[in-house]
Structure 1
Amino acid sequence: MKLTEQRGMATVYEPAEDSRLLATAVIDRIDGGQVLDVGVGSGYVAGRVAAETSADVVGCDINPDACRRARSEGIEVVRSNLTRPFEADSFDMVVFNPPYLPTPPEQEWDDPLEHALSGGEDGRRVIRPFMADLGRVLRPAGRAYLLVSSLTDIGAVGELAEGAGLDTEEIDDTSFPFERLVVLEITHENR
């Protein structure tokens, strides 16, 4: 994992294997429309989507440094906590590479980068509220793509989606000695 440094302190997550897997998995599945990149970070995924498809792309991030960085890459960005500020049925596609590293409370730290890396004790701290609101901003025929790790318990993530009235399907993955990264396609149930 790489981090952007500003004033001597790393503040923005740089693209790594997870970002590249997510971008590659979604590019061929986009056929225009409105796309939201949640947790836009450096703007890598949003930038590839904008450059390689006809979609209108907007990013959002809670980290002001990430917002500035993505804007400098030409991405329209809203500073926000997940999907809260967006209207219902706004997006044909939502992509998200969430913070998914399980982090015990005693190892949490307090700086902007924590929002990009720490998934809380079970790795799903940010995935829970994302899943709870995703169906609201996703158009009826829309699709979301979520990158998850085996460290986060992929089955538990699927249960969160199901509890929110959403279906999941694994569409791409890559394995490392310590984890498996998976891209889930998420749709409204009975689509």
Structure 2
Amino acid sequence: MTDLAERRGMETNVYQPAEDSHLLAEVAAGDIDESDLVLEVGTGSGYVSEFVKNETNARVLGSDVNPHACSNARERGVEAVRADLVSPFRDAVFDAVLFNPPYLPTDPDEERDDWMERALSGGESGREVIDPFLDSVGRVLAPDGRVYLLVSSLSGVEEVVSRASENGFSAVALRDESFPFETLSILKLIR
């Protein structure tokens, strides 16, 4: 395969930036300081990490379960590691964690077994990835750390806020944007 063909194949396996990516990148960059150590979970193409790094000069690490996404992010100059949520990170060191999770409610009988499905599918409730993230993210945050989480009205913002609260976080919506079939919100979670 040629480099171009390999790249095209990789891009079809990697979530590419869309409205949700742009919203998370802009909001997070406006609230992150140069001295922050940032982790973007589910970095996909690396767009959000690259944007935040360029806008703030903060050190930003990207992680993704998809090896194609890690390669794509590295091509953008993002330090990327293959990881499922926050699993390989052991210390409470990150000042900020960013996450644009798979949030689309999906019928399990209609799901495909491929990387793009994993990037989009939030399970029946739309929260199958969000809930375990909320249950584990606290252990990698510095004491005054914060989480920037993109949430869709399709997956239940109130339910996400409730789960965050169960994990010791308070939530504030930094920005909401409405689209024809959903409203996207960026939640800032703090302890």
CA distance in 2, matches of 1:79, 1:163: 28
Q: Residue type of the partner of 1:116?
A: A
Deviation at residue 176 of structure 1 after TM alignment: 1.0
- Cα distance change of structure 1 residues 122 and 64 upon mapping to structure 2, 3 Å threshold: same
Deviation at residue 44 of structure 1 after TM alignment: 0.5
Q: Residue type of the partner of 2:59?
A: D
Deviation at residue 145 of structure 1 after TM alignment: 0.2
Q: Work out whether 1:83 is the aligned partner of 2:86.
A: yes
The one of 37, 40, 63 equivalent to 2:66 is 63
2:137 maps to 134
| Aligned counterparts, 1:97-176, within 5 A | 97-176=100-179
TM-score (norm 2): 0.93
Deviation at residue 89 of structure 1 after TM alignment: 1.1
Q: Work out whether 1:183 is the aligned partner of 2:161.
A: no
Unaligned runs of 5+ in 2: 1-6
1:14 maps to 16
Deviation at residue 167 of structure 1 after TM alignment: 1.1
Compare the two structures and name the one with the higher helix fraction: 2
Q: Residue type of the partner of 2:18?
A: A
CA distance in 2, matches of 1:124, 1:5: 30
TM-score (norm 1): 0.93
Unaligned runs of 5+ in 1: none
Contact in 2 for aligned 1:43/1:75 (Cα 8 Å):
yes
Per-residue CA distance 1:26-80 (angstroms, 9 max, x = gap): 1110112100010000010000111111211100000000000000111001100
Deviation at residue 5 of structure 1 after TM alignment: 4.1
Deviation at residue 22 of structure 1 after TM alignment: 0.5
Per-residue CA distance 1:74-129 (angstroms, 9 max, x = gap): 10011000001112212000000000000011111101111210000000000011
Q: Work out whether 1:73 is the aligned partner of 2:76.
A: yes
Per-residue CA distance 1:6-29 (angstroms, 9 max, x = gap): 07x820010000000001111110
Cα RMSD of the aligned pairs, angstroms, is 1.2
**SS of structure 2 residue aligned to 1:66:** helix
1:36 maps to 39
**SS of structure 2 residue aligned to 1:175:** strand
Q: Residue type of the partner of 1:66?
A: A
